[in-house]
Amino acid sequence: MSERQLSEFADKHAWQIPFDTSPRHLAGPGDARHVTHGLAAAGWTRTSDPLSPRMVMTSPDHRYSMRFTPESGYTSAWWHLTSEPFGAEPYWYAAVGELVPAEVLAAVTDALVNPPPAAQPDPWQTLDAAGWARDDSGAARSTDGMCTIEHRPVSELHDTPEWHIETHETKFHELGGRRIWHAHFHQNVPAHLVNAFVTALTDTAPLQRGMHEPTAHYRAVQEPSPLSPQQVVDAHTDRLKAITARVRAARRRQTKPAPAPVHTRTAQPAARR
């Protein structure tokens, strides 16, 4: 991360009066730099044309890429996170709509650049703990009924199982009401990444949005935040420093040479004269 990039983030938020905005699935996209700055702090670089609105960031080992495609009108999914096959690890992808809060997507990328947990979590347990009720189809719904999370099996419409998250109008939902945003996680996406998304999405803590900054829906609730603009900037900077420190520590552990074997000298019998 350069000082100029951090300064531009600070300049924008220094003049925004923060408002606590909830629920998270209606908070709106926020600042995309929660995602891109986090990846840059982990050593990812932009590998696309700097003058193009389409952005591609690639991990240092070239295994992962994040694409931002504002012209993607067909799927309405502007963020695409992809993993290339590596050894026994298969290909996978995640596609996330434009109005997904950047902080929720950043939880996924933070989990990706950190060492994976020893045991993969179960996203259903996270949903149950958050109080999202299951309907007759097995999908979990937010308390306002506007966000649905389901694990879709193979069917005529879906070639592979996938996690599908969708925020939608409730009034016309039974008739296929208007979709606000959606996200897909391919079956091979590690469970801890799906769980990171679910955990961040169901968190009841509000997200900060600036005064007059658009939300995803008029039903989002906004109240003046106790945080100052500088505290919002400081929290962003502290997160980037923590990511950089963790990534550097992980790299040191990977490159640390193995300790040399200890050679014990066997006592030799004294020579006889």
The region of weakest confidence among 63-72, 89-98, 144-153 is 63-72
What would the mean pLDDT of 216-229 be, rounded to a whole number?
95
Q: Which phi and psi (to 5°) does residue 149 adopt?
A: -125, 125
Measured distance CA(56)–CA(234) in Å, rounded: 27
Distances (CA, A) of 235 to 54, 218, 230: 28, 27, 9
Whose CA is closest to 75, among 60, 96, 46?
A: 96
The overall longest dimension of the chain from CA atoms, in Å, is 105
Measured distance CA(248)–CA(42) in Å, rounded: 8
pTM: 0.88
- Asked if 13 and 233 touch (Cβ cutoff 8 Å), the reply is yes
What would the mean pLDDT of 241-252 be, rounded to a whole number?
89
- Asked if 146 and 168 touch (Cβ cutoff 8 Å), the reply is yes
The pLDDT assigned to 86 comes to 85
1 CB-contact burial (10 Å; exposed 0-12 / middle 13-18 / buried 19+) = middle
Q: In this predicted model, what pLDDT tens digit does every residue of 20-47 receive, in sequence order?
A: 999 999 999 999 999 999 999 999 999 9
Helix residue ranges, H only, 45-139: 102-113, 123-129
151 CB-contact burial (10 Å; exposed 0-12 / middle 13-18 / buried 19+) = middle
Q: Which two tokens stand for residue 81?
A: 């996170």
* Beta-carbon count within 10 A of 222 CB: 16
The region of weakest confidence among 69-78, 146-155, 163-172 is 69-78
- Asked if 18 and 210 touch (Cβ cutoff 8 Å), the reply is yes
- Average pLDDT, rounded, for the chain: 88
